Amino acid sequence: MKTEKIYTQHSENQAWANNVAFYRDEIKIMEGRLKEIASRNTSDEVLKQVEHFQNQFIIQKTRLDELKHDINLSNDFLEKEIAKNPVAVERRKVEDHAPAREEMQAFEKLYAPLKSEFNIFLSKWM
């Protein structure tokens, strides 16, 4: 079992929470642009792509909600660990949250091509 310092994990959780908030904001912006395109273009080709992106954004927002929930659970766990024994907390270690790190990396790996695909779509129809 790999361990990591509590403060290191807390810092990582904060960075992830900031990333989640950023991605949520970015999706809101993309949704706004998608609405603009849908209002200007009513061809079947465009509407199919609009629907595709709407569905993808719903999926990504759901995943971001799950990631945010996992981050909050991790922070709750860390706070309980600190409360158990606040002495020398900067040196204390807990089990590494590698699965959460992998989940965040997986999200980012899937999100990047979607964003790229959407930007190509935007350049074609804006």
Domain that holds residue 34: 3-125
* Burial class, 27, CB count within 10 angstroms (exposed 0-12 / middle 13-18 / buried 19+): buried
Give the domain CATH number at 89.
1.20.58
* Domains of the chain: total: 1
User: What pLDDT, on the 0 to 100 scale, is given for residue 112?
Assistant: 98
Consecutive sets of 10 residues in the chain, 126 residues long: mean pLDDT of each?
89 97 98 95 93 98 97 94 84 88 96 98 92
What is the per-residue DSSP string for 10-44?
HHHHHHHHHHHHHHHHHHHHHHHHHHHHHHH---H
pTM for the predicted model, two decimal places: 0.90
